Amino acid sequence: MRITLAQLDSGTDVGRNLDLIADYCARAAYEGSDLIVFPEYSTYEKSRVDRSFVDMAEPLDGPVASTLCATAARYGIAVVAGLLEAPGDGDGTKEPDRAFNTLVAIGPDGSLLASYRKIHLFDCQGFRESEYIRPAPEPLPVTFSCGGMTFGLMTCYDLRFPELARILADAGAEALLVCSSWVPGTAKTEQWATLAKARAIENGVYVAAVSQTPPVSIGYSMLVDPLGTVLHSLDTEPATATLDLSPDAVLAARDQFPTWRHHRLP
């Protein structure tokens, strides 16, 4: 199957961000891609998470998600993108002062295939994402199928938690989509690459790590194969890269290193 990594420079203009997403979808569809992957906070982003993130949140049947679904259907391509989801009455304690940092996976017909609420919130480097973002009430793995392969969803800081990647692989994921706005800092670019490669090697999966661009984030979106080789890496500018994934490569890597069979810890 064919995948497109879409490295964005999202800002606070939601209309502009949605237009950029549509332009990238058109480009990916022209290149024959089955799936295009956008970063965390694709539809609204700024250098610090603040009250505006809560104000911009909508339900998954709201205008932003509906526009993403219409874009996917218009170009006949599956879309994964990050948005701000407003809590609903079915979420236990309704918190009007915090939103969910959510990834949606949309099919080429415009249907919602899956949604994933970020589990691990970035309370590091002086940031307090949890002040305005609510973690998933139930930290469950989320996968979906597209183009004959199974994908697992992760968001940014989740990449530092290897147990989530393993749970997704155990749930059938052959590729991990790590949608991010990786905060810059000392050694952060090196950590981004090292962690993406480690998650691929540990689980015998592809890792498509897609990030926002500077100055908010670092860029350097990449596709890592199941043996840990970086097949392609973008620089720091907004850009796309379209590449092919093979289930056979996953099987071959797991045949060489059947860690899933040798694993003995609970």
Q: Rounded distance, CA 109 to CA 178, Å?
A: 23
Q: Which residues pair with 145 in a beta bridge?
A: 150
Active site residue 156: yes
Question: Which residue in 25, 69, 85, 118 is the catalytic one?
Answer: 118
Token pair, residue 150, equals 């199974």
Question: Which residue in 40, 45, 129, 174 is the catalytic one?
Answer: 40
Q: Which residues pair with 85 in a beta bridge?
A: 58, 100
Q: Rounded distance, CA 19 to CA 109, Å?
A: 19
The 3 state secondary structure assigned to 19-51 is HHHHHHHHHHHHCCCCEEECCCCCCCCCCCCCH
Peptide bond into 215 cis (omega under 30): yes
Active site residue 163: no
Quick check: 101 and 49 in contact, CB under 8 A? no
Quick check: 39 and 154 in contact, CB under 8 A? no
Q: Rounded distance, CA 154 to CA 105, Å?
A: 12
Question: Which residue in 25, 69, 146, 156 is the catalytic one?
Answer: 156
Q: Rounded distance, CA 211 to CA 180, Å?
A: 5
Q: Rounded distance, CA 111 to CA 98, Å?
A: 26
**Helical packing angle, 188-203 and 162-170, nearest 10°:** 30
User: Rounded to the nearest 10 degrees, how much is the dihedral formed by the CA atoms of 91, 67, 173, 204?
Assistant: -120
Let me know the angle formed at the C-alpha of 263 by 261 and 266, rounded to the nearest 5 degrees: 130
Active site residue 146: no
Active site residues per annotation = 40, 118, 156
